[in-house]
Amino acid sequence: MSTAVTAPQNRAFSAPALELDDVTLVYPDGASTITAVDHASLTIARGEFVGLTGPSGSGKSSLLALASALQKPSSGRVVVDGVDLSTLRTKRLLEVRREKIGIIFQQPQLINSLTAREQLLITDAVRGAKGRSAKEAAARKAADLLDRVGLSAQMDRRPAELSGGQRQRVNIARALMGEPSVLLVDEPTSALDQERSAAVVALLDEVTREFRTGTLMVTHETETLGAADRVMEMRDGVLRGPITLG
């Protein structure tokens, strides 16, 4: 079964950032197998914010793993910014993951000893930025991004000095540091109250349009999905939608 979904025709979205083309993911389970993702197709354009919901164990996390190139599909293709990941050798695949995909985790996973600014700068170092001019440019970018997410006054604070919502904002800024084509967001509001949850999702919607990313956000909290351009649903590995939230 294949459910193909593309960006709505009445919106001025640009070229596709992420394409999942009839992807299936099968896991071995003793003498049998489990189909975690069952022939799912989804295209997300640059500047488009798509929500993904569904019960636990429905395949949402598996779909994110495929989209982030952390897992290879058993069949089908994953295309990021026009690059078919199935054609790439390991080294180039890692480069594409670093350069084109930003991941916002459920838990911010910040390094306790680093300030908010340093959390962003270390990602640039991991990408191989070298030389004085590159470091100066990275420092300016980190300051600009932290200002953009509302943390200009907290740049030099460490995680223990930040609220849960502020830590998630650092997480968002860090994901944008590499100027990705795709933002993949995993349950970003699970540890936040309703007000902070709404603020974080509103920020994600804003940066999606401002930075022209194709954003896919997984969440159980459907009340946060009012800003999404589309909401998809997974059940038993099958991707359906768009759905209407009641």
Q: Cα torsion at 187, 188, 193, 197 (round to 10°)?
A: -110
**Confidence label for 204 from pLDDT (cuts 50, 70 and 90):** very high
Interval 35-62 mean pLDDT: 96
Q: Is 114 left (phi over 0), alpha (psi -120 to 50) or beta?
A: beta
Least confident of 9-18, 46-55, 164-173, 181-190: 9-18
pLDDT of residue 1: 38
Average pLDDT, the chain: 90
Burial class (CB in 10 A: 0-12, 13-18, 19+), 129: middle
Identify the pLDDT of residue 106: 85
Sequential DSSP letters for 50-100: EEEE--TTSSHHHHHHHHTTSS--SEEEEEETTEEGGG--HHHHHHHHHHH
User: Measured between alpha carbons, how far is 19 from 102 in angstroms, rounded to an integer?
Assistant: 15
> Which pLDDT score, from 0 to 100, does residue 227 have?
87
How many angstroms separate the CA atoms of 104 and 85, rounded?
21
Q: What is the pLDDT of residue 127?
A: 66
CA angle 215, 175, 125 (to 5 degrees): 150
User: For position 37, what pLDDT does the model report?
Assistant: 97
pLDDT in tens, 105-129: 888 889 999 999 999 999 877 666 6
According to the model, what pLDDT value does residue 7 have? 39
Average pLDDT over residues 182-202: 92
Domain spanning 15-111+180-240 has what CATH number? 3.40.50.300
Chain center to CA of 71:
15
pLDDT at 128: 64
At 162 the pLDDT is 96
Distance CA(156)–CA(158), nearest Å, equals 7
Q: How confident is the model at residue 222 (pLDDT cuts 50, 70, 90)?
A: confident
pLDDT of the residue at 129: 63
Alpha helices in 21-59, H assignment, sequence order: none
CB atoms within 10 A of CB 231: 19
CA dist 232 → 172, 241, 245 (Å): 22, 5, 10
Is 80 exceeded by the pLDDT of residue 92?
A: yes
Q: Give backbone dihedrals phi and psi of 220, rounded to 5 degrees, phi first.
A: -90, -20
Of residues 18 and 225, more confidence is placed in 18
Does the model's pTM come out above 0.85?
Answer: yes
Find the mean pLDDT for residues 133-154: 93
Domain layout of the chain by residue ranges: 15-111+180-240
pLDDT over 50 at 2, yes or no: no
Other beta carbons within 10 Å of 229: 20
Preceding omega of 242 cis (within 30 degrees of 0): yes
